[in-house]
Amino acid sequence: MLIKVFENKSSLGAAAAEQAASAIRRAIREKGEARVIAATAASQLEFLNALTAAPNIDWNRVELFHLDEYIGLPISHPGSFRKMLMEQLIGKTGVTRYHLLDGDAPDPEAVVREVGKQLASAPIAIAFLGIGENGHIAFNDPPADFTTEEPYIIANLDEACRRQQVGEAWFSDISQVPTRAISMSAQQILKAKEILAVVPDRRKAEAVKACFEGAISPMAPASILRRHPNATVYLDKNSASLLGPELQSLFARDSQAKVCA
């Protein structure tokens, strides 16, 4: 796993988008298509803005999968990840092959089975992720299930996760935040050929430190990214601010450091 640190969210987003665009173009060139997993959240805005503006991507050859979605939340709600995906990525690129997780469907288990079957039908070129304030990837809150091979799971959301959504102003108070979600599993995320995690802001610093300096543990879900041979984590100076002196010195020299399991 590689960590890269940038001065601010704009430079972070631009660099991450350049890597992502290259991965998509390469998959299209080599396979005829690029199967992509996308995250949507406040932390992804600069990255997705830069990616959707990247030149020479044939978005008609991109097949897009949704990372996670709340159960019981309509797509019209400002906090809906389907809504964000439509506005931040699909609407801007004209992607026609996409698989949204309908968390408002009468039977969420049926959504899990159907979209999971489609997801597992062929390899994924690249997965775009964020990391939560509690260290989660997708909605794999601690203690995350590191063992299930199911593509998607029904996840119970912990209080820290739900409070983050209030802090980001998607909900006015915690009582409005759903308690369950459809989430891609940790093992399914690791099956992507390449992983790119975009993690700006000071509020993510404690999670970054726990996941990348502590033990690989279900209590620090994003720590499992250290087991992936081709994962890159993009930080800004704020989200990297609590990392120890050894990593900080590497960042000061060349803005990136290799972190192994």
Q: What pLDDT shows up at residue 164?
A: 79
- pTM of the full structure: 0.92
**Pairwise pLDDT comparison (261 vs 229), residue with the higher score:** 229
Q: What is the mean pLDDT of the chain?
A: 92
Task: Supply the pLDDT for residue 59.
Answer: 98
Place of tokens 């996409």: 98
The 10s digit of each residue's pLDDT in 11-66 is 999 999 999 999 999 999 999 999 999 998 888 999 999 999 999 999 999 999 99
- Kindly report, residue by residue over 189-202, the tens digit of the pLDDT: 999 999 999 999 99
List Cα–Cα distances, 199 to 32, 64, 113, 204, 222, in angstroms: 30, 21, 30, 7, 11
Closest CA to 128 of 72, 84, 162: 84
Model confidence band, residue 204 (pLDDT cutoffs 50, 70, 90) = very high
Q: Structural domains in the chain?
A: 7-203 (3.40.50.1360)
Judged against a pLDDT cut of 80, whether residue 170 lies above it is answered with no
Across 181-188, average pLDDT: 97
pLDDT score for 249: 52
- Rounded to the nearest 10°, the torsion over CA 37, 126, 20, 209 is 90
Among residues 32, 29, 39, 30, the alpha carbon closest in space to that of 64 is found at 39
Asked if the model's pLDDT at residue 252 lies above 60, the reply is: no
The pLDDT of residue 169: 62
* Distance from C-alpha of 175 to C-alpha of 54, rounded to nearest angstrom: 39
> Residue 156 has what pLDDT?
93
Q: Is the pLDDT of residue 206 over 80?
A: yes
Whole-angstrom distance, CA of residue 185 vs CA of residue 182: 9
Where residue 261 falls among pLDDT bands split at 50, 70, 90? very low
